[in-house]
Structure 1
Amino acid sequence: MAYGSIELVERHLFSLYFVLPLLGVCLGFLFHNWYPSHAFPGDTLCYVTGMAFAVVGIQGHFSKTLLFFLLPPIFDFVLSCPQLFGLVPCPRRRVPRFDPETHLLPPSKAVFLKRTSRLSAVVLRVLAGLGCTELTTLPDGTILEATNLTLFNLAGSVVAFIVRYGLVYDGDRR
């Protein structure tokens, strides 16, 4: 085996040492938290998961892959900025609610109790035009409510993984 191959195998084994226990924890959490859920992952699970990805990405020399996995949370932050900076109200619960009539999970909505500012209206209309939010308006154009400005990172991470290994992979695919 060539030197590069041994080093590559060692990097992947190092990654497995971190990812397999994390996978076990996440599967255990999923098993005990299947619908109807009884627990919220909270900061502890989120920090441990993020730390594991960072360690694997940095120490395993998978910096490009780590960068692609960080793009969805960065985009999520940018998308949430109107709520974070007070342009759009941020409801207490930003998760979808189960609708027993349709058996669907419609997104929660931010309700505007007063007329939106011009800046808020422009930002919301641009985001609605990009398909990032849905607006409920009156015939005169007054915005009544908007779906929350959040994304689920799973979809973004899957896309990042496909882009990383499908489009910009710079090594041997074996």
Structure 2
Amino acid sequence: KGVLVYIYMGMLAVFCTNAMNILAGVNGVETGQSVIIGTSIAVFNVIEIARDQFAAKHLFSLYLILPFIAVSLALLRHNWYPSKVFVGDTLCYFAGMTFAVVAILGSFSKTMLLFFIPQVFNFLYSVPQLFGIIPCPRHRLPKFDRATGLLGMSYAKFSPDQMGPGGAALLKTLSFLRLAKVEWSPPSGKEKKAEISVNNLTIINYLLKFIGPTHERTLTIYIMTVQVVGTIIAFSIRYGFVRFFYDVVQ
């Protein structure tokens, strides 16, 4: 168990930083999710201190997370649409590492993953592109329409021979489950190959699939709503259905 714990801690740090980073690219999203997750951690710390469960560790975690929330709130004011500050990878990596550190030092590394439910879904949804089963473009941000000022789904376009093993079956499954919009264009002419178009597999594009072209500020509000719902589910699991998920809760 000793060696596996260290491996898990390392993986947690890598996941937290990168999960924050791939759910990004829209004004306010990186900072907004940082504020919501940080606030969730603070609330969890207060509850555990009141219950006298590892109070000293949760108090130490609280000391670290409160300044982070305060700084993130100040940053959110400038990062909200229209953004005056672009945080890039720097905030994502800093925030993710902060969350990993407070979870490890506070001995609630399992519970921390519950606060990352939207990020976990986004990662799993992105796996076909991240692991090369389906071609992954350099940028997967929503597409901006200059004429309307709205954001819509962005697409990856490629030929069938560019997919990895099982790519075609995976696309058909995603289309059948309505998890992605897939279009197959037959070859036209002698030289042009068949082309496949699929929306980039991120939770942001997935939301746009259902709500349609949306203003950037409104899209951020939708994403933050998803994050809050994820937090509600996390607390429900942690305190309402804990016995079904963990033998020993951390």
Q: TM-score, normalised by structure 1?
A: 0.71
Deviation at 1:101, TM superposition (A): 6.2
Q: Does 1:21 align with 2:21?
A: no
What is the correspondence of 1:1-174 to structure 2 with a 5 Å cutoff? 6=52, 8-70=54-116, 72-99=118-145, 104-112=150-158, 114-115=159-160, 117=163, 119-138=166-185, 144-151=196-203, 155=226, 157-158=230-231, 159-168=233-242
- Listed as ranges, the gaps of 5+ residues in structure 1 are none
Q: TM-score, normalised by structure 2?
A: 0.53
For residues 109-152 of structure 1, give each alpha carbon's deviation from its aligned partner in whole angstroms, at most 9, with x where no partner exists. 1122x235573221112123333322233489x76311111236
The answer as to whether partners of 2:160 and 2:195 remain within 8 angstroms in 1 is yes
Looking at structure 2, the residues matched to 32 and 61 of structure 1 have their Cα atoms a distance apart, in angstroms, of 33
Structure number with the bigger relative contact order (C-alpha 8 A, sep ≥ 6) is: 2
What secondary structure sits across from 2:86 in the alignment?
coil
What do you get for the CA RMSD once the two structures are aligned?
3.4
User: Structure 1 pair 12/138, CA: closer, same or farther in 2 (3 Å)?
Assistant: same
What secondary structure sits across from 2:197 in the alignment?
strand
User: Structure 1 pair 168/6, CA: closer, same or farther in 2 (3 Å)?
Assistant: closer
The answer as to whether partners of 2:186 and 2:195 remain within 8 angstroms in 1 is no
What secondary structure sits across from 1:105 in the alignment?
strand
Structure with the higher helix share, 1 or 2: 2
The answer as to whether partners of 1:65 and 1:161 remain within 8 angstroms in 2 is no
What secondary structure sits across from 1:111 in the alignment?
strand
The answer as to whether partners of 1:97 and 1:105 remain within 8 angstroms in 2 is yes
What percentage of aligned pairs have identical amino acids? 45
